[in-house]
Structure 1
Amino acid sequence: MIRYLPFHHLYQHLASPKYFYIWSSRLIPWLGRITAILMIIGLFWGLVIAPTDYQQGDSYRIIFIHVPSAWMSLFIYMVMASAGAIALIWRVKIAEIIGSASAPLGASFTLLALITGSLWGKPMWGTWWVWDARLTSELVLLFLYLGYIALQSAIEDPRQAARATAILALVGIVDLPIIHYSVEWWNTLHQGPTVTKFGAPSIYWGMLVPLLIMAIAFMTYYGTLILIRARSEILERERNNSWVKQILNSDDTTISINP
């Protein structure tokens, strides 16, 4: 069983792969259930209950996938850059693992945002793709994710790979404000902000609520997958440690955390 520690000892365990592995096993099932519930509610509300848009008709409903995917593509890159900074400064192993495990998920969300954006753009703009500022900068973000993954795969030592990819993530973060403000800085086909703009969002609440539910669902989905992927990488990296051997030889993960 996990023993509760005095506060002044807690910081020693928050960055411990052993501690992370244990508490994440208890969090994953809850995140998975929350994700499933929110996905069902959000999709049903967005695809069935939400009213038809007076200009775009039912084609607008792709926003319930496209917009959360686009938000997640930016959010996950911020997580990677933050984890990279922590890994570079404090050499925290869990930060390295979080960055490594996040890259394929971020690339997947970015690709999904680009695909759904093209599907939405065809009936709205009459074309699958234009070199619009928002679309182009989002495509650059996909290349940053792929470059991160390729660089990580090219370096055998995981600690050295983590340092190299952390630098790439921090350099690439300049693309995030370009993506966010592109519709304001340039004259683009992509519509301006409707949810995140200052003042009241210019979107009907019956469309906004399921959109926000789907955004939370995508975030908990990412949380579930990142914990699963991180746990797998922890076992791979720490496979020679006694606590990993204890887990692999036992039926559960109820091992103690010693100060």
Structure 2
Amino acid sequence: MNSFGNAFNWLFEPEQWSGPSGIPARVLEHLGYTALAVLLGLVIALPIGMAIGHSGKGGFLVGAVNALRAIPELGLLILLVLLMGIGLLPVTLALVILAIPPILAGTYSGIRNVDRSVVDAARGMGMKEGRILFSVELPNALPLILGGLRAATLQVLATATIAAYVSLGGLGRFVIDGLYLRDFAQTLGGTYVIAVVALALEGLLILVQRLVVSRGLRRNPTRRRDRKVRPVEVAIETA
């Protein structure tokens, strides 16, 4: 219990909230690493997931990419550092590899779960494949896509602490420095901050998802597959 009390005392020391090594600065660094990795993962995984989800070909790729989740991130980071040297690049690459699988899986699953009768109706109306993808499939797949993006963001945020192993900043700095200095109040306090930031970010992402996704899709993303619909009307509605 004394360790927890010391950690809270450390958190509320004035010097922890100012300067380049203070909590606010470390939070911004940590969010910067997270945002960069998730953005790059999104740029890579989203178009691939949309393409293979729409075509129905290449589904094996999703399973193969999901196997990347089994790679230990710290071991991967050490390997990349040996190959590339110490710096932001190996950390970013390791985090991007972590971000890609949930985004790809969410996008692919979202597109494939759109009612095929709706897609066929859109084709019957003369819609081009690109318009079908962006006007029919993508809006209906949004709940699962955003779910994958949220999962990727939280996983990257939690794992970005490894940046401290290669002398970068972020919230992992408190954990690593605390262990090195045997300042366990700092180590435990750093984990508190990481947990609070993760919970706050998850709450923000849930709020964004509720604002972006329509109430009907939010209630049941695959509802169109579970009830009878009039495909032509749905295709017109989403066009």
Relative contact order: is structure 1 or structure 2 higher (C-alpha 8 Å, sep ≥ 6)?
1
Instruction: Verify same fold: TM over 0.5.
Output: no
Structure with the largest fraction of helix: 2
TM-score bracket, shorter-length normalisation? 0.3 to 0.5
The structure number with the bigger radius of gyration is 2
Using the size of structure 1 for normalisation, the TM-score is 0.30
